[in-house]
Amino acid sequence: MPHLAYISFDTVPAPKGAATHIAAFSRALAGAFGSVDLVTVCGAAASEPHAERWPGVFHTELPGLGINLIDRVLCFRGCLERWLSGRGFELVQFRSIFEGIPLLRLRPRPRLIFEVNGLPSIELKHRYPRVADDRELMRKLIAQEQACLDAADRIVTPSEVTARYLTASRFVEAAKIRVIPNGVDTDLFHASDAATEFGPEIPLLYFGTLAQWQGVDLAVRAVAQICAQAPARLTILGAGSGRQREAIRALAGKLGIGARVEIAPPVGQPELVQALHRSFAVLAPLAMNDRNTQQGCCPLKILEGMAAGVPVIASDLPVVRELGEHGRHFLLVKPGSVDQIAQAVLQLRGDPVLWHQVSVGAREHILRHYTWERSGAALAAVCEELGMSLASRA
């Protein structure tokens, strides 16, 4: 009998943080327990055959078709229910209510790990602003979230901020929450072998989605301020809508730096490492809103930049502070402060010793605390708590 499944309403593989996280966790589960069934969504009408994506990871893609998110979720849920029929699992890990609700209907029900990276009742309004005014939809989202939280045998989350929110606002018992932060492939995300030398122009990098909560507009405004004192260039690598891209281009043009802001699609991890090594600093100006302060997150852009030995300038939020120390592992700035972002870049530019100190300190900190091996071992321990036996002991 298949014993372990990992199910997510996400596309894998893909050049985004969720896909990186899922790939790392699924490989960790397969390594610890011999094999895992990974189920994700695809945009095609027909599912991909059951294939071994990575050693021991048997990947099935189920369609999620429709003109809007609700249609896509309902399509995926129906396909998932049919896929689950006749299969029995000892343990299933899932990442959202979109795949979680069908699991609650299973009889007998397997042991469940709810991996809470984000909650739709908080997340969706930042992608679809009109959702915030739809009280009936919000009521249903919260009810489904609570049903999954209550039914889960364990809840795994990457941030202490999220854990505190779940206990204080969603009445989850602290005893069943396990905080497992994201990690980094430190062999892939390595420090540059070449001597770090930059010309007169300051190359800056932002990578991630173009969503409002990421604060990309703040990065653009900061570059305009920097350019008043020193030439700078911002490369933006991220997924976003045409409207989001045009808004960034319009802002850069209005500020007179249109030629100094490049917007490109997301790239694979090897190409991202190359982009990091060409960069003087990474900008991660997370906005001050409930997406970042209540729900919490564990930003891979910060961890991956640190692992590559590139100084990261990030918003001084609890979700960031729990990852390291200001001045040693990154530079923190007041959330929403364009002035402080610009000042931090210029401070690094004028202080090569500080740049080197943060570069080396960040890399060492990641090696000690934020590897996927470390996170994967913590996840395997949670599965053991729920009765799973390691492959070496089976």
Note the pLDDT tens digit of each residue in 70-92: 999 999 999 999 999 988 899 99
* pLDDT single digits (tens) 240-292: 889 999 999 999 999 999 999 999 999 999 999 999 999 999 999 999 888 88
Q: What are the domain boundaries of the chain?
A: 4-183+371-385, 202-369
Fold of 4-183+371-385: Rossmann fold (3.40.50)
Mean per-residue pLDDT for 130-147?
90
In which order are the strands placed within the sheet that holds 232-237? 261-264, 232-237, 202-207, 281-284, 312-315, 331-333
**Is 4-183+371-385's fold the same as 202-369's?**
yes
What burial class does residue 259 get, using C-beta atoms within 10 Å of its C-beta: 0-12 exposed, 13-18 middle, 19+ buried?
A: exposed
Spacing of C-alpha 390 from chain mean position: 27
Q: With cut-offs at 50, 70 and 90, classify the pLDDT of residue 19.
A: very high
Fold of 202-369: Rossmann fold (3.40.50)
pTM for the model: 0.93
pLDDT in the model for residue 78: 95
- How far is the first Cα of the chain from the last one, in angstroms, to the nearest whole number? 14
Question: How is residue 312 written in tokens?
Answer: 């990261």
Contact 256, 283 (CB under 8 A): no
